[in-house]
Structure 1
Amino acid sequence: MQQAIPQRAFLPETDPLLQLPSAFSAWDETAAELPRLLAAGRAREMLARLPRLDPQALETAGERERALGILSLFGHAAVHESWRQASATTVPASIAVPWVSLALAMRRFPVLTYASHGQNNWKRIDPNGPIQLGNLAVLRNFFGGLDENWFVATHVEIEAQAAPLVRSVVTGQQAVATKDQSSLLRALRSIADTLDAMHATLVRVRENCDPYIFFTRVQPFMQGMKNVVYEGATEYAGVPQNFAGGSGAQSTLMPLLDAALGVRHAGDALITYLHELRRYMPHAHQEFLTQVEQGHSIRDYLITLHDRSLNEQYNRCIEGLGRFREEHLAISVEYIQKPARQQASLRGEHGTGGSPFVGYLEKHRKETFANLLQ
Structure 2
Amino acid sequence: MSPFLTNIGQCVPRLEDYDIDPVNGFLSSPPLKRLPALFHPWEHIMDHLHQLMISSSLRSWVLRLPLLDVNQLETKREWQRAHLVLTFIAHSYIIGLPKIDKVESVLPESVAVPWITVSKKLLVKPVMSYYAVELSNWYKLDSDGPLDLSNIAISHTFTGTVDEAWFYLVPLAIEAAGAPAIKGLVDAQQAILDKDHTALVSALYTISNATEGLTALLKRMYEKCDADIFFNRFRHYSRGSKNSQDVPNGVFYQGVTEMDEFVNLETPNPKGLIGTWRKYAGASAGQSPLIHTLDVGLDIHHVPMHGTLNESNPSFSTDSKSSLPARFPSKPHYVNPMLEMRESLSQDHQNFLRALGNGPSIRAHIASLSGDDNTAVVQFNRAVDNIKQFRDAHISLTAMYIVLQAKKAAAAAGESSSRVCVGTGGTDLVPFLKQTRDETVNALILLP
TM-score range, shorter chain: over 0.9
Structure 1 counterpart of 2:14, one-letter code? A
Once the two structures are aligned, what percentage of the paired residues are identical?
33
Query: How many residues get paired?
Result: 373
In the alignment, what sits opposite 1:330? Answer: 396
* 2:14 is aligned with 1:4: yes
What secondary structure sits across from 1:169 in the alignment?
helix
Which structure has the greater CA radius of gyration?
2
Which deviates the most, 245-254 or 321-330?
245-254
Q: Is the 8 A contact 2:96 2:102 kept in 1?
A: no
Separation in 2, partners of 1:263, 1:225:
29
Between stretches 229-238 and 248-257, larger displacement belongs to: 229-238
1:364 maps to 2:436: yes
Q: 1:309 aligns with which of 375, 379, 403?
A: 375
TM-score, normalised on structure 2? Answer: 0.79
- Out of 351, 358, 361, the position equivalent to 1:294 is 358
CA distance in 2, matches of 1:105, 1:247: 22
1:83 deviates by 5.0
> Which residue number corresponds to residue 94 of structure 2?
79
Moved over 4 A (4+): 345-348
Q: Any idea what SS the aligned residue of 1:132 has?
A: coil
Does 1:127 pair with 2:143? yes
Equivalent of residue 257 in structure 1, options 273, 290, 294: 294
Aligned to 1:114: 130
For residues 271 and 190 of structure 1, the distance between their equivalents in structure 2, rounded to whole angstroms, comes to 34
How much has 1:363 moved relative to structure 2?
Answer: 2.5
1:137-152 correspondence to structure 2 within 5 Å: 137-152=153-168
Per the normalisation by structure 1, the TM-score is: 0.95
Which residue in the other structure is 2:205 paired with? Answer: 189
Superposed CA deviations along residues 31-52 of structure 1, whole A, max 9, x for unmatched, are 1211122222222222221222
Alpha-carbon distance in structure 1 between the residues aligned to 2:443 and 2:119: 39
- Structure 1: which 5+ residue stretches go unaligned? none
State the 1:271 CA deviation.
Answer: 6.2
Which runs of 5 or more residues in structure 2 are unaligned?
Answer: 1-10, 243-249, 260-273, 307-333
Cα drift, residue 86 of structure 1? 5.0
Deviation at 1:266, TM superposition (A): 4.2
Q: Alpha-carbon deviation of 1:296?
A: 0.7
Q: Give the counterpart of 1:68 among 83, 86, 98.
A: 83
Residues 70, 140 of structure 1: 8 Å contact kept: no
Give the aligned residue type for 1:328. H
1:235 aligns with 2:288: no
Measured in 1, the distance between the counterparts of 2:12 and 2:431 equals 37
Residues in 2 aligned to 1:194 and 1:51: alpha-carbon distance in whole angstroms: 47
Give the Cα separation in 2 of the matches to 1:259 and 1:117: 24
Is residue 272 of structure 1 aligned with residue 336 of structure 2? yes
Distance in 2 (CA, whole Å) between partners of 1:224 and 1:266 is 23
Task: Confirm or deny: 8 A CA contact 1:36 1:143 kept in the other structure.
Answer: no
Does 2:284 correspond to 1:247? yes
Alignment match, 1:27: 42
Higher helix share: 1
Task: Provide Cα deviations, 1:121-149, integer angstroms capped at 9, x if missing partner.
Answer: 01111111112112122111111210000
Q: Which AA in structure 2 matches 1:338?
A: L
Q: Secondary structure at the match of 1:239?
A: strand
Question: Which of 54, 57, 70 is equivalent to 1:42?
Answer: 57
